[in-house]
Amino acid sequence: MPIELTMPRLSDTMEAGTVVRWNVKEGDAVKSGAVVADIETDKATMEMPCFDDGRIAAILVPSGRQVKVGTPIALVALAGEDLASVKAGGGSGSIASSSSPPVASIAEPAVSKAVPLTSVQTETTHGMEEFGAASARMRVSPVARRMAEDAGIDLAKVIGTGPSGRVIKRDVEAALAQVASNRSSATIMTGTAMSVSTSAAPTSVAPLTLALRGRDIALSSMRQTIARRLVESKTTIPHYQVTMKFGMDALLAMRKSFNDKLASSGIKLSVNDFLVRACALAMAEHPYFNASFAGDSIRVHEQVNIGVAISLPQERGGGLVVGVITDADHKSLRQLSSDARALAEKARTKGLSMQEMSDATFTISNLGMFGVEHFTAIINPPNSAILACGAAIEQPVVRNGVLCVGTEMQVTLSLDHRVIDGAMAAEYLRSLKEFIEEPETLII
């Protein structure tokens, strides 16, 4: 009997997944443990293995399609089974026979709102219902329907260019542009612009931007999650920021010395490795920076786990993930460097596991490597703080009353005022400054 490969649940919050890329094609032989597809979850792009030996009889969900968890996406024929017969069977619950439509497709514009999966399904279904007696068989996207209603456009006269003749956003935009062109022509011919525009205008005037042409890019699952979590963070956490400059000359000199000695072993310490170490040690001294707001209490965590923001390449969907270095206050610079490098490499190639992205108690976002001098970051719930690190810039400075050239870096803490007040933030930054400007304390 053939094996159904179904969309796996790869995170605790995952309700749907997107097949980013198939690594096999129909007819290919596969072994147990072989990676057959890359799946985009709501948090990251991860590899999907096959757990049986056999041959790929049918690929039911093409690349770029998003389907619900548990939906069959491929069929594997076992030894002795005929591929054509297995493919003809199609599986007991294949995507083709599913009564509910897929949540979204890369080939089709998606609703640009981060809403729960059930809401998207309901809205999509409603968007394809009948639109009046004159369009009983018309298929209309929700965005197109709202735009047409606002602008007074008769959808029965709009030609749909979407899948199966569906009327989508660009079709309504084209209709609006045609209406605007007709009004302009009428104004020139009559010479009475005011009277023509007044009589021809619909009761509800659409925004001028609706006439602009462009293309819609469907939000990936990760982008939807980023949008939802950041809006949640900014609207539920009372953010405020505190900024301080650190002298970097001593740390950079130490880093160069260490890297020269470690070159033969292939180890290269980054500035970020020193920052992780310094933040972890400062958190051990200031436990409220290792805490979360818990409604009627503040939960101080026992482990110091540093989350490091990692940017993903576009071929893996882009966006950011946070890799977590556990027990960071108990690890050496060499171990921190090894952990951070391994997390970044895996995130950009195979994708991080849920365990590798969970339980951060503090986050570091470093754009200094791109030359950014200063920025502010949004807190990553349930953390109470995130550190935004700029570039180490060589500039004129005053040291011991003397003007000289020095290297300084500007860092900004974004803080949850429910947990950490301004004085506590100043004390933490002072401790962090001591660790950075006296880097020998990081290795004692």
Q: What are the tokens at 19?
A: 């097949």
Residue with tokens 């989508």: 168
- Per cent of the chain over pLDDT 90 is 43
The answer on 157 and 38 residing in a single domain is no
The answer on 180 and 81 residing in a single domain is no
> Cβ distance 147 to 170 under 8 Å?
no
- Per cent of the chain over pLDDT 70 is 80
Please tell me what DSSP assigns to residue 237. Answer: S
The answer on 288 and 355 residing in a single domain is yes
Q: Which amino acid is at 54?
A: G
Instruction: For residue 325, tell me if it sits in a domain.
Output: yes
The answer on 259 and 347 residing in a single domain is yes
Query: pLDDT-based confidence at 150, cuts 50/70/90?
Result: confident
Q: Catalytic residue among 239, 301, 374, 417, which?
A: 417
**CA-based end-to-end distance of the chain:** 62
- pLDDT, residue 432, reads 97
Alpha helices (H) in 267-421, listed in sequence order: 271-285, 333-349
The answer on 52 and 156 residing in a single domain is no
Q: Output the domain CATH number for residue 164.
A: 4.10.320.10
The answer on 256 and 335 residing in a single domain is yes
Q: Which amino acid is at 252?
A: L
Would you call 301 a catalytic residue per the annotation?
no
- To the question of pTM greater than 0.85 for the whole model, the response is no
Q: Is the dihedral of CA 95, 99, 102, 103 positive or negative?
A: negative
> What's the total number of domains in the chain?
3
Q: Which amino acid is at 419?
A: V
Query: pLDDT-based confidence at 113, cuts 50/70/90?
Result: very low
Cis peptide preceding 382, ω within 30 of 0: yes
The answer on 242 and 318 residing in a single domain is yes
Which is higher by pLDDT, 188 or 149?
A: 149
> Rounded to 5 degrees, what angle do the CA atoms 307, 311, 315 make?
140
Q: Output the domain CATH number for residue 271.
A: 3.30.559.10
The answer on 320 and 189 residing in a single domain is no
The enclosing H or E element of 189 equals helix 169-190
The answer on 379 and 412 residing in a single domain is yes
Tell me the residue range of the domain where 280 lies. 237-442
Dihedral class, residue 441 (left if φ above 0, else alpha if ψ from -120 to 50, else beta)? alpha
> Cβ distance 409 to 250 under 8 Å?
no
Domain boundary among 103, 126, 142: 103
The enclosing H or E element of 145 equals helix 142-151
The answer on 276 and 421 residing in a single domain is yes
Instruction: For residue 230, tell me if it sits in a domain.
Output: no
The answer on 253 and 206 residing in a single domain is no
- Condensed to tens digits (0 to 9), the pLDDT of residues 339-356 reads 999 999 999 888 888 889
Res 108 pLDDT > 50: no
Q: Report d(CA 121, CA 309) in Å as an integer.
A: 32
